[in-house]
Amino acid sequence: MKDLYEKFIASSGVCTDTRKIGIGSIYFALKGASFDGNAFAEEALTKGAAFAVIDNPAYMTSDKMILVPDVLTCLQQLATYHRRQLGTLVIAITGSNGKTTTKELIKAVLSQQLQVIATEGNLNNNIGVPLTLLRIKPTHDLAIVEMGANHPNEIATLCQIAEPDYGYITSIGKAHLEGFGSFQGVINTKAELYNYLKAHHKTIIANADNAITEELLQGYDLVYRFGSKQGADLLVELLNSQPVMVRFGNSSERIQTEKAIEEEPLVANTFEGFANAPTEATSHLVGTYNFSNVAAAIAFGRYFKLSDGAIKRGIESYVPQNNRSELLQWKGNMVLLDAYNANPSSMAAAIDNIVAMNSYAKKVIVLGDMFELGDYAAEEHQHIADMLAAHYWEGVYLVGKHFACTKSVYPKYETFEAFYEAFQKTNYKDCLILIKGSRGMAMERAIK
């Protein structure tokens, strides 16, 4: 590993795709279900790679090829070795919902005063995590590593690779039930991050308002908590959800004094719940479900001793994109485009949020199927359809094979194409339109 690491340090970085070969890089010949990276090793060298790491001797055609037992394992080991050599502090983020948004918010805040690198997009699996670690430079103070999972033990494996110093679980909901087997399986897998941190006596940032994650932290002391109630290290309150506006400051018990003239105790002259004047910040995000994401970023800023002004600038500088809680104008309507992904928990939260957006009288719902629910698919899609029935909507469109099987009064379309043929004939005006669905449904096609 030492020899390979010396080659890595002298290289321009690593690459796993011959279509994106960098001059002087090291190509890792990963394998997938329908391709074998070994077959492209020679092409990588031709395009300018300094070396190619392979695990099939049949493709060993150059002294610039490095033969290893398994390319993926080698990539992961190199990433861990690099992480140890630099000693950069690593923050791990996982959860059922909000991982990427929270990661980007934390990066936006901490970058105000620190040199920070973070996972690009949602490259959060056993390939993406090592690639993130290998991008760390000696100049970086912190690395924020997003960790995703769709089966048990995956987070534990990613922790072994990244060796995080800090961690945060955004939420635990009904996501990837097909791989986890049950909601308890989701809890157990997300808990693998906290299990690693506790075993290595590392610090956990936690949402004191989240009963599930709080249960996982019973008896552990290295915790910095944020929340909307007294008792947390940091108090964060939601002032508005359209967009998300918060105020934050040190939590303080209300000080009471007795006054001889009056029988009722009086509160000392201070802000209720805060030790002193709180700071307010207005984000570009919408929805109550984004409140905890914003609050977590503030907590990380406070923990790493950034000024409140810097934290405020970080929160207000982040602009969502890539179909995550984007507000768009479209044909005289306001569209809440939240189509990057969906599971039962995030879908329910999105519906609750649009119901609460009282500034819009007319609302339209466009929902695409939720994937990876296994035996729970029919039940969970029906639950969402039932949720919709409790409210009045200007229009509702349910798209995909699972939604098409639900019992509801709303228009159902088994394919996106069938839905779009009907949707493009509508003439909605001055409506708020929610578009949400799993990534595979690509529901943003409705307006893009």
Q: Is 374 annotated as a binding residue?
A: no
Q: Is 438 annotated as a binding residue?
A: no
Q: Is 240 annotated as a binding residue?
A: no
Q: What does the alpha-carbon distance between residue 239 and residue 431 come to, in Å, rounded to a whole number?
A: 24
Give the per-residue SS3 of the chain. CHHHHHHHHHCCCEECCHHHCCCCCEEECCECCCCEHHHHHHHHHHCCCCEEEECCHHHCCCCCEEECCCHHHHHHHHHHHHHHHHCCEEEEEECCCCHHHHHHHHHHHHCCCCCEEECCCCCCCCCHHHHHHCCCCCCCCEEEEECCCCCCCHHHHHHHHHCCCEEEECCCCCCCHHHHCCHHHHHHHHHHHHHHHHHCCCEEEEECCCHHHHHHCCCCCCEEEEECCCCCCEEEEEEEECCEEEEEEEECCCCEECCCCCCCCEECCCCCCECCCCEEEECCCCCHHHHHHHHHHHHHHHHCCCCHHHHHHHHHHCCCCCCCCEEEEECCEEEEEECCCCCHHHHHHHHHHHHHCCCCCEEEEEEECCCCCHHHHHHHHHHHHHHHCCCCCCEEEEECHHHHCCCCCCCEECCHHHHHHHHCCCCCCCEEEEEECCHHHCHHHHCC
Bridge partner list, 223:
204
Q: Is 231 annotated as a binding residue?
A: no
Q: What does the alpha-carbon distance between residue 105 and residue 140 come to, in Å, rounded to a whole number?
A: 18
Q: Sign of the C-alpha dihedral, residues 244, 247, 251, 252?
A: negative
Cis peptide before 320 (omega within 30 of 0): no
The residue length of the chain stands at 448
Q: Is 95 annotated as a binding residue?
A: yes
Residue 170 · residue 99 · CB < 8 Å: yes
Q: Is 87 annotated as a binding residue?
A: no
Backbone angles phi, psi at 3, to 5 degrees: -65, -45
Q: What does the alpha-carbon distance between residue 23 and residue 44 come to, in Å, rounded to a whole number?
A: 10
Q: Is 132 annotated as a binding residue?
A: no
Residue 120 · residue 103 · CB < 8 Å: no
Residues at the binding site for ATP are: 95-101
Residues at the binding site are: 95-101
